[in-house]
Structure formats: structure tokens, C-alpha cells
Structure 1
Amino acid sequence: MDQSFTIPKFRLPGFVAALGRKLPQWPHGLALVAGLNAALKMKLLPIDDLQALEGKRFRVSVHDTGGVADFSYRDGLFRPLFRVEGEPDLAFAAHLSAYLQLLSRQEDPDTLFFNRELEITGDTELGLLVKNLLDAVEWPKLPSLPKLPLPHR
């Protein structure tokens, strides 16, 4: 019997976003860029297709945490942006649960977009390219956790 974990749709309390918006945002960009560059190093992202991202500016916003990550792709690496002027070339915005569902492949970007759970703004062609890049990623299989017996009550 498969009891795979399902990420539910949830919203963090409003005070979390209010507090999160008051905190420095650069750590979010550093963390996201570190993950993207690790995926590059692990050869999970198709390097040839990334050339189209050269010099583009991106933003990922998480509504219910108040977090925003701004970054770009230059010279073969993702790089955080510390001073952002103007609008990014492509921006994504969603609640934390939608991003977790996307990363776990529980939901695909199209479904989240059409259900109005994922907002995508900016260059439409660039958005389609990024979506296709993400769809093409073959995430490594993580080892299964051992099933522990449940205590009897």
C-alpha cells in the first residue's frame, strides 16, 4: 500500500508575510541561487538551453512569507541581485504550498497557473522557455525512508 506524502494547499497566517516583508530579502536570493547553481553542477539543468537566459532578471515572490528572491543568469551561473531597479524580465508569485507542490511534482506549472495559484508576469516567451526547462529536469530519486511501525494505542 503506497502512502506517499501529499502537500496540502495551505496559507501561512497574515502576520508571517507582514513580518517577512520587513526583513532583508537578499538571503532568499542567495539561497535560491545556491540551489539553482547546485542543480547546474549536478547537470540537472540543460546547459545549452540556458543560453537564452543570459542577462535576464528574474523574481520569485512567496505571498504568504513575504519573501522575494531576485536573481539573474550571467556567464553560466545564476547570480543574486542585491539592488533591483525596475521590473524583472520574468516574475513568479505564489503561496508557499504551490511552490512546494511544484517542486515535488505534485502539480505542474500549467495547472497552478490556470487555477490562479501561480502568477507569471513579464516576457511570455521567456516564461514558456523557463517552464519547459523546469519540466525537463529529471530530479534524482531520493532513497525511501524506512517505514517505522506505528505505536499501538
Structure 2
Amino acid sequence: MQGRTVAFSAYELPGALQLTLLQDRFQLDWADERAEATLSGALAALCQVGLAQADGDALFFQRRLSMEGDTELALEVKSLLARYPLARLPSWPLLSPGGR
């Protein structure tokens, strides 16, 4: 996976993000032509995969996610994200703007 790039494209957003593993660390950036594979779907489904809150295989079979390009790489990234989520959400509820 070192140096390889996978893009994440959410239907609701105008641009895609890409994830690259460099020096054993994930790097997240705006997508460009380097992406070897693309995971596409609704923003909620992509967030669930990135935060390891849902089974990526289940989302794929429910047709909430799709893969293009190097599917072996996309599956490897999906498995990595299940073990090492991109971020952890705080355990307290987030406040809306204005503190309410």
C-alpha cells in the first residue's frame, strides 16, 4: 500500500478526496490523477467506512458503495480503515453553531 493512492468520491460533494499511505502514515488530500482506485457513494456511507462505523462489504453489497479502478487496492484500503480509522469522533454530542 505504501505510496499508492485511493480516491473517495461522495455524490453530494463537488470534489473527491484521496488517501495515500506515505512513510506508514495516511495522507488525505484533494483527489488528482494519481488515484489508482476510487470508492464512491453517499457521504454518510463513506464516512462510516473511514471512521470504521460500518462494514464496508455490507455497504458495497447494499449498493451504497461502489469501486472503480484497482479493486484489489480499494479492498485493501477498506480493510485498513476497518482496523485503523481515519479519526475518532468525540464521545460527547457535538453542539450546533451558537452552542445550542
Q: Determine if the TM-score, normalized by the shorter chain, exceeds 0.5.
A: yes
User: Distance in 1 between the 2:26 and 2:89 partners?
Assistant: 24
Query: 1:148 aligns to what?
Result: none
Unaligned runs of at least 5 residues, structure 1: 1-52, 146-153
Amino acid at match of 1:111: A
Q: RMSD over aligned Cα, in angstroms?
A: 3.0
> Is it true that 1:84 corresponds to 2:29 in the alignment?
no
How far is 1:130 from its partner?
1.6
Query: 2:22 aligns to what?
Result: 74
Q: Identify if the C-alpha distance between structure 1 residues 80 and 137 changes in structure 2 by more than 3 Å, giving closer, same or farther.
A: closer
User: Distance in 1 between the 2:19 and 2:47 partners?
Assistant: 20
Q: Which structure shows the bigger proportion of residues in helix conformation?
A: 1
% same residue:
29
Query: 1:35 aligns to what?
Result: none
Q: Identify if the C-alpha distance between structure 1 residues 71 and 133 changes in structure 2 by more than 3 Å, giving closer, same or farther.
A: closer
What's the TM-score once normalised by structure 1's chain length?
0.46
What's the TM-score once normalised by structure 2's chain length?
0.65
- The total of aligned residue pairs comes to 91
1:134 to 73, 78, 81: 81
Unaligned runs of at least 5 residues, structure 2: 94-100
- Larger Rg over CA atoms: 1
